[in-house]
Structures are given as structure tokens and as C-alpha cells.
Structure 1
Amino acid sequence: MLQHHGASDVPRIGNDEAAGLVEVGKSSAGLGMVGHHRVPSRATDQPLQADEDRVRFRSSVALLPIGINGNRIPDEGILALREPPPVPVEGQWPSYSGHRQHQHPTGKALMSEQALKELLIKELQDTYSSETQIIEALPAMVEAASSPQLKQAFETHLRETDGQVKRLEQIFQILRAEPGGNTCEATQGLIEETEEIIDEGLPAEVLDVALIMAAQKVEHYEIASYGSLRTLAETCGMTDVARLLEQTLEEEKATDQKLNQLAEGDINMRAFRAA
């Protein structure tokens, strides 16, 4: 162990046995080279001050650990112990200090990635089925509505839905998948409920209220679907797909907000007064 010394007997590197931290980094005459660091040679050693069994070279920048283990420091320079290499972790490339770890996909990781992509395609097919069913159902809702504003809202959404279907087809082209092969039973059930409402023979004003409620059920389902699909696409690194899904998601939110405004603004109150 290094003993404390007074100012007159401060140890010099290369002459004493010690274990501690040596600061190196400044370039000056007589500096040798150890690894990638320039360090003082024995010929130009600088005085060191002992402090709690650690030695620090005064004119320096970086700290490098050295261990002598009771052996005399070699004359050719100071041996700096480098950071030991990290223990490899399955599925990751080794990472040294200052560098971000890079994922190296293993067989299991590749299987998970493929499973996520298959799930995304399956849910997109389900959404494609939902949109095509809505296109078929909206004309009947336009015809059943008595409020001009509600009719216009349904007609506008019908045109938007046409565009949303084309957007989904574009996504399937990106993913090299087919849009068919799945039936959205949730939308199918919601549309069947709407058809039953239309056939109930409700007063026109009350029917408008019921149509808004039925339409908003579908909108909320679509908002949940597109929000989940967008997030999954982002997770899989499919930025183009996520961007297209985000556009449709915003359209669905706007349609839901429009239906809210119609219900709160006039349609609900007209039905209340008619009753």
C-alpha cells in the first residue's frame, strides 16, 4: 500500500510501486505512448502527491486505472489497464463505452418480427372488410336521415371512406399482401343493428338521433382500429404505412366530432321537441 509522504519525498512514477489512478493526456516533451494514450516516460517523470493511497499525475485530462500488484513499473512507460471487453449477450452486438448497442436478430427475434407483420396484415384485412361494408351501408343511412345536415355528413363520409379503401390498398401494395381473406364481424354486427333501427318505424326526428348514435359506434370502432394499426406499424419501423394510417385516423376523428356537433347543435333538441 502507498504510504503518505511529505513534499520532499513525493514518489515519482516509474520508481515506486503503487496502485491508483494516473491522469494522462497532455502532450509534452518526453512523453511515451501506451495504447492510444500519451504518457510520461521515466526520463521526464513529474512529481506526484499522495492522497488516500491514490496517485494523480497533475498535468492531464483523462483518468486511466493502473495496477502494479507489487511489481516494479517497467522503465518503458506506465501500463494502463484498459476497460475489459463486455460479456456478449445473446441477440446483441457487444458494446463498448460511448457506443449504442445494436440488435443482432436471432432466430427467435426473427420469428417475433414475422409474427408481428402477420398480425398487422391480418388486422388490416379486417379493417379493409370493415370499410367495404360501411361503403355498402352508408347509402341506406343517407336515405333514412331526415336532417339535411345529417344527410350531408353521411355523404361526405361515404366519399372519405372510398379514399380510405384506396389508402388501404396502397398499404397492401407496400406490404406485398392481399386485402381480402378476412371478414370484420364487429362492423357486420354494428351495421345489422343500424338496419334494424331503420326498420323500426321511428319518428323521423328520433330516427336521426338513432342514426347518429349508430354511426358513432362505428366511428369509435374505426378510431380504435386505426390507432392500434398505426402504433403497430410504427413499432415495426414501417413509417410509410404508419403515415397513411394516421391520415385515415384523423379523418375518422373529424367525422366523429362532426356527428357530435350535429347532435348537440340541433338534432337531439328537435327530437326532444317533437316528442
Structure 2
Amino acid sequence: MAENEIRDIFVIGLRNAHAMENQALSIMKPQLKRIENYPEVAEKLDRHIRETDGQIVRLEEILDGLNEDKSTLKDLALSFTGSMAALGHTVAGDEILKNAFANYAFENFEAAAYKSLLVIAEAGGHGAAVTGLQANLAEELAMAEWINDNLVALTTKFLSLREAGETAKV
């Protein structure tokens, strides 16, 4: 495959990742605003929102280094769909659980995107991008692992709150 073709694929992937991270913010921020009975989830979500802001900066730096811009249209479209997805769970009696399931899936989706981008970066000779992409990947994997490690405790707390007659509100 020609080097310019790999570059084009890489740029598209970076733009997609940028939009994906904006979508993640549009999912996480509304969740954070609604959390009342799960301070450990709120703390981790708040921290990951800040990490996501940093991931966006890293992606923009990589795109800048390639003299490319982000895709504003993709950013807007995925942010909108993320907001709609977050809104969809608010009517559920088990919103906290549905959010955890969706977040776990999304974190793994993001990790897969970064693994793929790392392969493309190496194939295209874009070594300068590797450190930033590896940092983003590590943060996504850490968040997915945290959700996985805390899902039993979260579900147990949800059941306990419901049993006590509390709303178990997110």
C-alpha cells in the first residue's frame, strides 16, 4: 500500500477518534450531573472526563503535526448521538446499571480504535504519534478495567438501595 494511502487512512482514523472522544464527553457529562448515590462512580467519571479532554488535545496535536484539522461535522454528529444515548437511560429505573454497561462497551470500543490507530501509525511511519496514542489507549483500558472491577459492587449497592426503599437514583 502506498505511503500516502496509509496516511489518508491514518488521518481519517484520527478524525474519527477525535469525534469519538467528543461523543464520550457528551455521554459522560450528563451522567455525572445525575449521580447522587454513587460517589465512587462520580469521582471516577469526573476523572475520566478530564482524561478525555487530554485525549482530545493529544489527537489535535497529532493532527496538527500532520497539518490536518479535525472533522467538525463528525464531532457534532457523534456528540449529538452521544447526548441522545445518555438521555435514553435517564428514564430507566436501573439507569446506573445501564450506564455502567454502556460505558464498559464504549471504553472497549475506544481501546480497539486506539489499538488499530497504533498499527496504522507504525505502518505509515508516524512514530511521533505513537506516544500520544499509547497514552489514550492506556487510559481507556484503565477505565474499562475499573468498570469491570467495580460492576459487582455497583450492582450490589443498587440492589441494597432498592431493597431499603430508596430510589437508587443515579
**Alignment check: 8 A CA contact 2:22 2:79 kept:** no
TM-score normalized with structure 2 length? 0.84
Q: 2:87 aligns with which of 195, 198, 204?
A: 195
Within 5 Å, which residues of 2 pair with 1:252-271? Answer: 252-264=140-152, 266-271=153-158
Q: Give TM-score scaled by structure 1 length.
A: 0.54
Match of 2:39 among 137, 140, 148: 148
Partners in 2 of 1:211 and 1:246 — Cα distance?
A: 26
Q: Is the 8 A contact 1:126 1:182 kept in 2?
A: no
| Paired residues for 1:196-211 under 5 Å | 196-198=88-90, 200-202=91-93, 206-211=94-99
RMSD, aligned α-carbons: 2.0
CA contact (8 A) 1:194 1:214 kept: no
Say whether the 8 Å CA contact 1:187–1:218 is kept in structure 2: no
Structure 2 counterpart of 1:169: 60
Aligned residues: 160
Ranked by relative contact order (alpha carbons within 8 Å, sequence separation 6 or more), the top structure is: 2
Greater CA drift, 157-166 or 173-182: 173-182
Deviation at 1:186, TM superposition (A): 6.7
Instruction: Return the index of the structure with the highest Cα Rg.
Output: 1
Partner of 1:51: none
Q: For residues 236-275 of structure 1, what are the structure 2 equivalents within 5 Å?
A: 236-264=124-152, 266-273=153-160, 274=162
Task: Give unmatched runs, 5+ long, in structure 1.
Answer: 1-108
Which residue of the partner structure matches residue 166 of structure 2?
A: none
Amino acid corresponding to residue 154 of structure 2 in structure 1 = I
- Per residue, is there more helix in 1 or in 2? 2
In the alignment, what sits opposite 1:120? Answer: 10
Residues 30, 86 of structure 2: 8 Å contact kept: no
Q: Is the 8 A contact 2:6 2:123 kept in 1?
A: no
The gaps in structure 2 that reach 5 residues or longer are 164-170
Deviation at 1:242, TM superposition (A): 1.6
Once the two structures are TM-superposed, the CA of residue 182 in structure 1 deviates from its matched residue by 4.8
1:132 is aligned to 2:30: no
In the alignment, is the contact (CA less than 8 A) between 2:26 and 2:83 conserved in 1? no
Q: Deviations over 1:130-181 (max 9, x none)?
A: 1123223322111222300011111000100111111011101211111125
Distance in structure 1 (CA, Å) of the matches to 2:125 and 2:70: 21
Q: Distance in 2 between matches of 1:181 and 1:189?
A: 14
Higher strand proportion: 1
Amino acid at match of 1:241: A
What amino acid is aligned across from residue 15 of structure 2 in structure 1? Q
CA shift, 1:194, in A, is 2.6
